[in-house]
Amino acid sequence: MLDHVGFQVAPSKFDSIVAWYLAALAPLGYEKQMEIPGKAVGLGPSKDSAPFWIAVKESASDSPSLHLAFKAKDHDMVQKFHTEAVKAGGKCNGKPGPRAYHPSYYAAFVLDPLGNNIEVVDHVPHD
Q: What is the DSSP string of 8-24?
A: EE-GGGHHHHHHHHHHH
Measured distance CA(86)–CA(65) in Å, rounded: 19
pLDDT at 69 (0 to 100): 85
Q: Which pLDDT does position 47 carry in this prediction?
A: 85
Percentage of the chain exceeding pLDDT 70: 94
pTM over 0.75: no
Q: How high is the pLDDT of residue 100?
A: 87
Mean pLDDT for 64-69 is 80
Looking at residue 120, its pLDDT comes to: 87
3-14 b/e (C-beta count within 10 Å ≥ 16 → b): bbebbbbeeeeb
